[in-house]
Structure 1
Amino acid sequence: MKHRWAIQVANNYSWFESLVDQHNAVDIGFMVDAVDAQPNQYAIVSHHLDDLADVDQVIDRATALIALLDGALYLQQGHYAGMRTADLINLDDCRRTVFADGSVLADPFSPKWSGASVPRSYGHLVLPAERMLFMARTDELTRNMLKFLGVNGPTWIALYALKDYMKSGGWDEGALANASEVSKSEVERFRRTANNPAAIGPFARHGEQGHQPPDVAMTLPEARAIILKATGRFLDERARKLDVVGSYEEQRTPRR
């Protein structure tokens, strides 16, 4: 199926080629431009953009959609640093527009594409990022979690927001500890570190409130390991409850 718009990608990580090779374009995918011996060039494409003609609307929707992709890739890759983009390209006439100043608050999904049957050629939702993006179409909690993480990156504030979102989805600190395979005291140490400027200064969620900091402050890499692991497993559990994969398979399997 032909795409109407493409957004240049400036990323050149060693794993990016592998990601592109594996990633199916159900909601967002990549075009590859291979030129002789030069490194491959990549562009983001999505059928969620195809029904738009106004450049500003395309940039808004793509900004929101890429934020979801960033959040999903933070969870899938762990070491991910965020998608860097360049120009928006109209594939019909090759006109270019600087891809900037889009609204992340825009609706990332096209009602037309979301309501269409997924062609069988897209295969299975194999990668976690693909499954999470597909789930975000209809599940507001998943959408909010991915967007918060995608926009902010795995900062102290974003990690604590993920903890709050998981709580709203029914997970207490015990469930979070079990999912991340740490003790509840470690989750408590995360909470006390994230909330206290005496522990992490200007990176804390709050100003001074008189709370006692932990004896040993948690490092950001430690916090990321706990919360991102728990978040991935929370969304896996949620996908099973919502039967996201089953719904996708039902669309791609022809009726007998």
Structure 2
Amino acid sequence: MNYKWSFIIRTGGRDFFIEDLMYNLRTDDISIYEGGDEETGSLTYYFTSIHLNHLTEPLDIYDKALQLTFLANAIELLIQENKNNAYFIELERLIDVENNSPIFINQTKRPTVLDIDFTINETNKTTKRHIVSRIIELAKTEEFIRNILFIISEGMTFISMYRALDEIKYFLKSNGDNLDNLGFPKKGLINDFTHTANNYQSLGLKARHGSTGHRPPEEPMNISDAQKLLTDIIKTIFIKYYGIDIPEKKDKKFNVSDLFDK
């Protein structure tokens, strides 16, 4: 596949997530490659996609590329047990590949909607079933997957996770299902999460609301437990509705072979 546009990826030292995608991801939806001098070690990572080829305006290219990286970064968040260890694709300079020339962009704010038209430049299903390519392949046709990934790509904060929980409840209701059926009863961790997320006295500016006069929970849920809860719910939905068992990285020595279908 010939790509028209690529972005230099910002990295901080050795980035295992980027390296994994570069060596193992085989899909035109998201592609990572490297360039530079191997002998001197001055290598640069690049991000590209077939979904950028039809675009001509730098700001549009940047906007759509960001959206694609959000999908991949959200999957990385779901995979990581410790969300603080997640590696993210961060875009720097835009490159005109054919002319090998950089293009200056007055970078815009984070996109607030996901509006990639996946019917343009449709690609064949990847032959190598990496978890990232498999989920993105599904996201092209499944609105719930697109929405949930886009929401959590902002970072798994109490506000974004509450928004994700709303999306989950709506999806389940649309399918005649609910959280109780999935093993997550309202009277339990769900209540602990919502009461904490809503309460200004517990979270301050990280809460969904300002002061409402409601008492804070006796034991507010900490962010790690909230992230685990939402991750477990999303993983359960992926198993039940899409037959995908999302793996878990417990440390940096994770075997990347576990990211492929068995």
Q: TM-score, normalised by structure 1?
A: 0.80
What secondary structure sits across from 1:154 in the alignment? Answer: coil
CA drift of 1:47 comes to 0.6
Q: 1:22 aligns with which of 21, 24, 29?
A: 24
Report the counterpart of residue 4 of structure 1 in structure 2.
4
Residue in structure 1 matched with residue 193 of structure 2 by the alignment: 190
Which range moves more in the overlay, 25-34 or 85-94?
25-34
1:86 aligns with 2:92: yes
Q: Deviations over 1:160-214 (max 9, x none)?
A: 1111111111153424555xxx995122111111111111111111112232322
Counterpart in 2 of 1:101? Answer: 108
Tell me how far apart the structure 2 counterparts of residues 196 and 81 of structure 1 sit (CA, whole Å).
30
Does the CA-based 8 Å contact 1:5-1:89 persist in structure 2? Answer: yes
Q: d(CA) in 1 for partners of 2:147 and 2:53?
A: 24
Provide the residue aligned with 1:124 in structure 2: 128
Q: Distance in 2 between matches of 1:183 and 1:39?
A: 53
SS at 2:93 equivalent: strand
Q: Which amino acid aligns with 1:161?
A: R
After TM superposition, the structure 1 stretch with the greater mean CA deviation from structure 2, 182-191 or 86-95, is 182-191
Kindly indicate whether the alpha-carbon contact (under 8 Å) linking 2:179 and 2:186 is maintained by their aligned counterparts in 1: no
Q: Is the 8 A contact 2:7 2:48 kept in 1?
A: yes
Give the deviation of 1:232 after TM superposition: 2.8
Decide whether aligned partners of structure 1 residues 185 and 169 sit closer, same or farther in structure 2, where only a CA change above 3 A counts.
same
Secondary structure (helix, strand or coil) at the match of 1:30 reads strand
From 76, 79, 87, the counterpart of 2:79: 76
Answering whether residue 62 of structure 2 is matched by residue 59 of structure 1, we say: yes
Structure 2 contact 118–140 (Cα < 8 Å) conserved: no
TM score, norm. by length of structure 2: 0.78
Residue identity matched to 2:16: W
Q: Please state if 1:166 is matched with 2:174.
A: no
1:102 CA drift (Å):
6.1
1:112 aligned partner = 120
Further displaced range: 212-221 or 18-27: 18-27
Task: Note the aligned Cα RMSD (angstroms).
Answer: 2.5
Task: Give the aligned length.
Answer: 232
Task: Provide the residue aligned with 2:254 in structure 1.
Answer: none
Q: In the TM superposition, what is the alpha-carbon distance from 1:153 to its structure 2 partner?
A: 0.8
Q: What SS class does the counterpart of residue 112 from structure 1 fall into?
A: coil
Question: Conserved in 1, the CA contact under 8 Å of 2:59 and 2:108?
Answer: no
Higher helix share: 1
Letter aligned with residue 6 of structure 1: S
* Offset, 1:103: 6.2
Cα-to-partner distance string for 1:79-116 (whole Å, 9 max, x where unaligned): 325332210101011221245216623622443322x4
**2:120 counterpart SS class:** helix
Task: Please list, as runs of the form range in 1=range in 2, the aligned pairs for 1:239-250 lying within 5 A after superposition.
Answer: 239-240=242-243
Q: Is the 8 A contact 1:194 1:205 kept in 2?
A: yes
SS in 2 for 1:234: helix
Choose the corresponding residue for 2:229, options 208, 226, 229: 226
SS in structure 1 opposite 2:129? coil
Structure 2: runs of 5+ lacking an equivalent: 245-262
Shift in CA distance, 111/102, structure 1 to aligned 2, threshold 3 Å = farther
